[in-house]
Structure 1
Amino acid sequence: MGPISFVKEYWRLMLLLVFVSFALVALFIPGGIMADDSYVDGESVNDNPTNLEYGLGLDGGTRISAPVIGMTAENIDAGAVDEDDGQVDRERLNEIESILYDNDEFELETGDARVSVDDDGNVHAEVFTDEVTEEQFAAALAEAGVEVDPDEDIRDGVTAETRTQMIETIQSKINEAGLDGGDAYESEQLGGQHYIVTEVPDMDPDELRDLLSERGIVEVVAYYPEDDTGNHTNETVLEGGDIATVDPPQTSERGGGYEVPVEVYSNAAPEFQSRMNDLGFTGEGQGMCQLSGGEDGVNFNHDGPQYCLLTVVDGEPIDAHSMGQNLAEPMAAETWASDPSFVMGAPDQQQAQGLSVSLQAGAMPAPLDFSQEQTYSLSPALADQFKLYSLIIGGLSVLTVSGMVFLRYRDVRVASPMILTAMAEVVILLGFAALIRMPLDLSHVAGFIAVVGTGVDDLIIIADEVMDDGDVSSQRVFESRFRKAFWIIGAAAATTIIAMSPLAVLSLGDLRGFAIITILGVLIGVLITRPAYGDILQRLLTDK
């Protein structure tokens, strides 16, 4: 038999071997098929002998689900979008937003209101606080010339765009904090309420709650004398969105505290430079700041005029420092804007790290409502036990199935390939999980066990069908019976996929992982392992 004839004859079995080989590489070769940050120079930086990643149920950690605090007036007639060409009047949007902040009915903090336009040209107004009623919100919009019905046009919750931005920001926070394996996604509950779900390994609930509680709204505020009476005023001169790059925190050269070196965007730098000159920070205010930060924030007790740049995070001043000569001179000469870098202060390393994370991840547009949170937490020690128990249960399931198959056929030629093919299916699934870095959880383990059971069921159908009428030595008879069996398992596979698809698509927690693994196992079985088993049986049972 020539090579081409051999490939044509056994291509199904060769396809199975190729998939198993790739799966083994993805599972056990350092770095796998794709580059992996968990390997440095081919050496694993953790004690995991495989390339598999584990979820909370097998690695420990915390999952917190909570809705977003907010209220939305949807599809408002704000006069901000031209009906002919769809151009957006940004000044009109900013005007409405400013009126929301300046109204007399309620008080909003920085970042608590937003007026935006979605991709369809619809204008939405949002407030991110639970201290405002629908009537107050409607009244504030009316001051801006926007008439809305508080009962029909205003609803609890935020827009889909805001939730998407929340997820992206939380994911960035997780990554910037070095929490490998963390994830954030959206879950829709019964009744239509949307929850933001955050999963982080090796972190207890209080730590994760603290991370999510920090919205990360960073500002540089100028604190300077208002007049000759000794009164001082605050003015925001730089926002977190104006920061282009952030370097790791470092010990302050001023002798205490920490600094976070940053670089300002080129479009924001000239205005910041001009304002520092206008307020006197580069002249008489140079070096004129006696304030400093501590555990309780900035102490504003002082004598004499102060020219301080305050680092403010989520509305709380955490540090203050003066304009140094190295920064004041290029600003006064108006050359600093061509190389716009400086340092932001923090009193300790923890706050400096938090400041760095907030600057890099960006601000969360809205807070989470932890009064309605759903929390799941598992200690790493208990997760290790679950990992061991999962391995034991998987082994027992294989041994049990193997024993039943041998009892059923008492023919090594039929039973041995059946068990090996079923195990190959599991290896391919594990390799796929390692390739896409799917964090395996207890629900996935249940899916693997289900795949072993349903896979062997299909293989038994094939064996029974081809051996049902006794002699199967003829290749033509074997192929006829195999096609009949394959139609049966194909129909069963289609039924399983249809039944599991809603669970795989909907956000139903752990059921989703079970459904995904089951569907993948069925597809691998029908497309790869079942045909390969047919080739093996044909070789063993026919006269070919």
Structure 2
Amino acid sequence: MRRGVSGFIREPRTITLIILVVISLAAISTLGIPQGLDLKGGSIIQIQLEKPVDSATMNTITSVLDKRLNIFGVKDVKVRASGNQNIIIEIAGVKPEEVAKIVGSPGKFEAKIDNKTVLTGADIVSVQSPIIRGNQWEVPFRISTDSAKRFAEAAEGKAGAPVDMYLDDRLITSPEISPDVAAGKPVTDVAITGAESTRESAELKAKEVETLLKSGSLPVKVKIVGVSSVSAELGGEFAKGALIAGLLAIIAIIIILVARYRTPILVLPIFFTTLAELILILGVAAIIRWNIDLAAIAGILAAIGTGVDDQIIITDEVLGEEKVKRRRRRFRIREAFFIIFASAGTLIAAMLPLAYVGFARGATGIGMLAGFAFTTVLGVLIGVFITRPVYAKFMEYIIK
């Protein structure tokens, strides 16, 4: 028996599995397992464009919104298109009202003299960090040299006249034209200023203006049509419930296996193989930063259930001909794998439409189907190509 176990451990497939499990455990411990909104809390904001757009314009819009949220300081955010007129934004750990103005604003900047536009957002080269003095705020920015010359030409001879600065057609500030600029001297350093009721409000407003100036304007108008939130406490309850469901599933599996085979030498390998599949799935999720939510947990349970079924098929096929010759035993294992591959192919074929609809349409409910489908397919592929062959090889050594 010891020779059989040592020979099994030296098998290339076994060594590969051990290495992958170690890598997965390292990825989980260092990178952590990304959690979806329904586990750690957060918000979902649904945005509608004023009209349908093509794929290039949609990519521009999602890129600008993603950039805005990152500049604003939102750490865990996911922006995805939903069709050709809607966008879904998932934000973890942030209240929706804190970012609603950021994602719902076109971000169009204009500076006007005598109601004539002399500067736009395209003229901005860089934006500096906001300056807060009490409840007063200031956002300095720099314009290009050509823009500064054009601005000086428009301001020539108009010392003391206001420069009306608009953001999304709302007047933000109206600084006066300095004598130097009115004399035709180009100035590249400009600033938007304002005042709020409190220092906290001033900081938030300055951050909003900085974010909009840095990210640029959206090519079409947008509006927020839906906001939903999941509290961190409720997410914790979901996670606790999912953990309990997983433990109950494991206990049920062990009871069924013990009742069927009545020997630890057959039950424990199935359990450890299932545990290895779970570690590999979570390891892949940690590496590719795939969020584990309730739908993904359901997919993991489905994949693990399929894996246990496959291992039972292998075990029964091998034990059914325990006394046959080696050639016949390998033939029965091939028969078992034919059934396993056929079952895996059928399951993957059933999951692909869900994944396609979820990724292509991207709506909130449909997106959960994509998470379920992706995790299920991932678990099945890991089982079919990694863990099931190792388990079959283990059964050969057990019979020998």
Q: Could you state the TM-score of these two structures normalised by the residue count of structure 2?
A: 0.88
CA contact (8 A) 2:39 2:293 kept: yes
Contact 1:64–1:374 under 8 Å retained in 2: yes
**Which structure has the highest helix share of the two?**
2
| Identity over aligned pairs, percent | 30
Aligned to 2:349: 498
Q: Check conservation: 2:311, 2:388, Cα contact below 8 A.
A: yes
- Distance in structure 2 (CA, Å) of the matches to 1:328 and 1:524: 68
For residue 214 of structure 1, the aligned residue among 105, 108, 124 is: 105
In 2, Cα distance between the equivalents of 1:176 and 1:414?
Answer: 55
What is the 5 A alignment of 1:253-264? 257-264=136-143
RCO higher in 1 or 2 (8 Å CA, sep ≥ 6)? 2
The aligned residue for residue 23 of structure 2 is 22
Give the counterpart of 1:530 among 367, 388, 391.
Answer: 388
Superposition CA RMSD, Å: 2.5
The reply on whether 1:405 has 2:257 as its aligned counterpart is yes
Which position in structure 1 is the counterpart of 2:117?
A: 236
- Cα displacement (A) at 1:409: 0.9
- In 2, the alpha carbon distance for the partners of 1:374 and 1:492 equals 41
| Helix, strand or coil at the partner of 1:439 | coil
**What whole-Å deviation, never above 9, does each CA across 1:442-481 have from its counterpart, x for those lacking one?**
1111111111111111111111111113326x54343222
SS in 2 for 1:248: coil
Aligned mates of 1:361, 1:270 — CA distance in 2: 21
SS in 1 for 2:323: coil
Report the counterpart of residue 425 of structure 1 in structure 2. 277
Structure 2 gaps, min length 5: 1-5, 196-201, 359-365
Structure 2 CA distance, aligned partners of 1:438 and 1:187?
Answer: 19
Q: Which residue of 2 aligns with 1:165?
A: 60
Q: In the alignment, what sits opposite 2:70?
A: 175
Q: 1:264 to 1:333 in 2, by over 3 A?
A: closer
Q: Between Structure 1 and Structure 2, how many residues are aligned?
A: 382
Distance in 2 separating the partners of 1:8 and 1:414: 17
Which of 58, 71, 87 is the aligned partner of 2:39? 58
State the secondary structure of the residue aligned to 1:514: helix
Give the Cα separation in 2 of the matches to 1:407 and 1:28. Answer: 35
Which residue type is aligned with residue 48 of structure 2? P
The alpha carbon displacement at 1:323 in A equals: 4.2
Residue of 98, 109, 128 corresponding to 1:247: 128
Q: Counterpart amino acid of 1:68?
A: L
Q: 1:483 to 1:513 in 2, by over 3 A?
A: same
Q: 1:478 to 1:376 in 2, by over 3 A?
A: farther
* Aligned pair partner of 2:150 in 274, 295, 312: 274
Contact 1:308-1:322 at 8 Å conserved across structures: yes
Alignment partner of 1:341 out of 182, 185, 189 = 189
Does residue 332 of structure 2 align to residue 481 of structure 1? yes
Which sections of structure 1, spanning at least 5 residues, go unmatched?
A: 33-50, 71-156, 223-232, 289-306
AA at the equivalent of 2:329: F
- TM-superposed deviation, 1:318: 1.3
Q: Do 1:308 and 1:323's aligned partners in 2 also have CA atoms closer than 8 Å? A: yes
**Aligned counterparts, 1:36-185, within 5 A:** 51-70=32-51, 157-185=52-80
Equivalent-residue separation in structure 2 for 1:486 and 1:234 (angstroms) = 76
The structure having more radius of gyration, on CA atoms, is 1
